[in-house]
A and B are shown apart, each in its own frame.
Chain A
Amino acid sequence: MNIKNQDSYTETGMTLIVKTVTRLTVGLILVYGIYIVLHGHLSPGGGFAGGVIIALSFVHLMLAFGRDIALRKVSKNTVSILESIGALMFLSIAIAGFLGGVFFLNILDKGSPFRLFSAGTIPLSNIAIGLKVGVGLFAIFLTLVILEGSKR
Chain B
Amino acid sequence: MELHILLLFMILAAIIAIEIKDLLSSVIAIGSAGFALCLAFLILKAPDLAITQLVVEILCLIILIRATIRKDLPLIIEGRWFFNTISTLIFIAAFLLFAYYALKELPSFGHPMMSVVKKYLEEGTSKTGAVNLVTSVILDFRAYDTLAEATVLFTAVIGIMAVLRRKGRKEISEKDEY
Contact = CB atoms under 8 A, between A and B. Distances in A.
A56 B136 contact: no
Contact of B161 (A6, A53, A103, A143): A143
B85 interface: no
Interface in B54-103: 55-56, 58-59, 62-63, 66-67, 69-70
Interface stretch (B4-12, B25-33, B111-119, B140-148): B140-148
A43 B48 CA distance: 9
Contacts of A98: none
A132 B130 contact: no
Interface residues of B, number: 47
A45 B51 CA distance: 6
Given A41-B130, A139-B157, A143-B164, A104 B143 contact: yes
B160 A44 contact: no
A76 interface: yes
B150 interface: yes
Interface in A105-152: 106, 110-114, 118-122, 125-126, 129, 132-133, 136-137, 139-141, 143-148, 150
B20 interface: no
Interface of B: 47-48, 50-52, 55-56, 58-59, 62-63, 66-67, 69-70, 125, 128-132, 134-136, 138-140, 143-144, 146-147, 150-151, 153-154, 156-157, 160-161, 164-166, 169, 172-173, 175, 178
Interface of A: 1, 6, 36, 40-49, 52-53, 55-56, 59, 63, 71, 75-76, 80, 83, 87, 90-91, 94, 103-104, 106, 110-114, 118-122, 125-126, 129, 132-133, 136-137, 139-141, 143-148, 150
